[in-house]
Amino acid sequence: MRTYRLRRPEIVAEEAPVPEPGPGEVLVRVHAASLNKRDLLILDGTYSLPARPGVIPVSDGAGEVVAAGPGVTRFRVGDRVVGSYWPRWHDGRLRPELVDQPGCTSDGMLTEYALLGEQAAVAVPEHLSWAEAATLPCAALTAWTSLTGGGKPLPGRTVVTLGTGSVSLFAVQLARLLGCQVIVTTSRAGNADRLKELGADHVIDYTATPDWSRRVRELTGGQGADLVVDTAGPATIDQSVRAAALYGEVVVLITRDATSDRLEIFHEAYASSLATLRRVFVGHRTDLEDLCAAVSAHGLRPVIDRAFTDVQAAYRHFREGSPFGKVVIELGPA
């Protein structure tokens, strides 16, 4: 089989034997993998977890079970699956002993055949293509847990998302699915129509309206948003707090960027608020199962920017091409 390995400063294609599934494992013929920001950080050596030398990259991939090892009961040959972002975190709270990530500390999905523990695999919605299914484990699940992890009922509430990154686009789609009013900020006014097609009620151009939290309050009758999904961190956290309702929530996904490793909230903003700051780190397998059930029930289709068969071209486009939607690598028949 063809597989890919992290050989810094690049990812290298290699030939390897097709692995045999052991007890509790399934062998998956991977048809598509999708890229996330963490994949660039791992390649660059700046990710928070050290990558294993020679690891198979990429956490997100979808494929068909072609063989099952002894004792497997959750899946059978022919099932369509994705792997969980946290293979050993099945439910409850994340604990240090469960911190293991495909494409970083263990082999990932950028390979024609991948071994998955049956407890780390999740069935994917039947209406999705392989490319669409491959987008779910990281970005879509992060958006899902950002929206649902606070425990508050969502229908009728107002959600603010920032920008047009893949987590934000999924948050728009899922928030609409959950019955929310959705407000999106973007620096690209030309994306407004596309965002509204995905479910945005209002789009704020933050280059024309840098004090966008005021506009959020205007759009919510002075109340502020019930939930802000902050995907930018240092650049936006103060505005996100100002945009939140008195007892709102701000989900903090990014804690540093290229210019700062600090989250700074001015006294005036936080002293006048009782908003909660909540951290999210993707989600566990049960969350992924819940997401897939919702996607299936509502027929949601992820946004694909481009699909590639050339791995290097995919990484290059993801880094430099300002994609709107997910960048996918096809590893087999579509």
Question: How far is 185 from 229, CA to CA, in rounded Å?
Answer: 11
Chain-centroid distance, C-alpha 96: 21
Question: How far is 41 from 62, CA to CA, in rounded Å?
Answer: 22
* 10-residue stretch averages of pLDDT, the chain, 334 residues long: 95 97 98 98 94 97 98 98 98 95 98 98 98 98 96 90 97 97 94 96 96 98 97 96 97 91 93 94 98 98 98 97 96 71
What's residue 57's pLDDT?
Answer: 98
Residue 324 lies in a domain: yes
Task: Provide the Cα torsion 243, 261, 320, 160; round to 10°.
Answer: -10
CB 128 within 8 A of CB 84: no
- Kindly state the helix (H) or strand (E) to which residue 65 belongs, with its residue range: strand 60-68
Q: Are strands 158-162 and 80-83 parallel, antiparallel or unpaired?
A: unpaired
Instruction: Using the Cα atoms of residue 170, residue 172, residue 174 and residue 175 in order, give the sign of their dihedral.
Output: positive
Residue 145 lies in a domain: no
**108 in the same domain as 32:** yes
Q: Are strands 60-68 and 80-83 parallel, antiparallel or unpaired?
A: antiparallel
Residue 294 lies in a domain: yes
Residue 199 maps to which CATH number?
A: 3.40.50.720
**168 in the same domain as 248:** yes
Question: How far is 132 from 255, CA to CA, in rounded Å?
Answer: 28
What's residue 236's pLDDT?
Answer: 96
E strand intervals along 35-78: 60-68
**159 in the same domain as 197:** yes
Residue 53 lies in a domain: yes
Question: How far is 239 from 270, CA to CA, in rounded Å?
Answer: 10
Query: Both tokens of residue 218?
Result: 């205007």
CB 53 within 8 A of CB 100: no
Q: Which structural domain range is residue 27 located in?
A: 2-138+283-330
**251 in the same domain as 202:** yes
- Kindly state the helix (H) or strand (E) to which residue 306 belongs, with its residue range: strand 304-308
**165 in the same domain as 116:** no
Residue 225's φ and ψ, nearest 5 degrees, are -85, 145
State how far the alpha carbon of 68 is from the alpha carbons of 17, 29, 80, 89, 284, in Å: 17, 12, 13, 21, 23
What's residue 332's pLDDT?
Answer: 74
Structurally, the chain folds into a number of domains equal to: 2
**200 in the same domain as 102:** no
